[in-house]
Amino acid sequence: MSVNDPVADIFSAIKNAAAAGHTEVVVPFSKFKAQLAFLLKKEGFVTEVRKFKEKEGARFFLAIKPAYDEEGNPKISHLKRISRAGQRIYSPASKLKSPPLGIKIVSTSQRLLTEKEAKKKRLGGEVVGEVW
pLDDT at residue 55, rounded to an integer: 85
Torsion from C-alpha of 86, 98, 64, 59, nearest 10 degrees: 30
Q: Which domain holds residue 56?
A: 6-66
pLDDT at residue 2, rounded to an integer: 52
How many other C-beta atoms lie within 10 A of the C-beta of residue 5? Answer: 15
pLDDT at residue 66, rounded to an integer: 97
CB 115 within 8 A of CB 103: yes
The answer to whether residue 36 is domain-embedded is: yes
Task: Give me the tens of pLDDT residue by residue for the chain, a chain 132 residues long.
Answer: 555 788 999 999 999 999 999 999 999 999 999 999 999 999 999 999 999 998 888 899 999 999 999 999 999 999 999 998 889 999 999 999 988 889 999 999 999 999 999 999 999 999 999 999
Same domain, 55 and 83: no
Residue 114: CB partners within 8 Å, gap ≥ 6?
A: 39, 43, 103, 104, 105, 106
Q: What is the DSSP string of 64-131?
A: EEE-B-TTS-BS---EEE-SBTTB--EE-GGG----SSSEEEEE-SSSEEEHHHHHHHT--EEEEEEE
Same domain, 58 and 97: no
pLDDT at residue 115, rounded to an integer: 96
pLDDT at residue 3, rounded to an integer: 58
pLDDT at residue 85, rounded to an integer: 86
Same domain, 93 and 124: yes
- Which domain CATH number covers 105? 3.30.1490.10
CB 126 within 8 A of CB 88: yes
CA distance 34 to 69: 23
- Put simply, whether the predicted model's pTM sits higher than 0.85 gets the answer yes
- Which domain CATH number covers 62? 3.30.1370.30
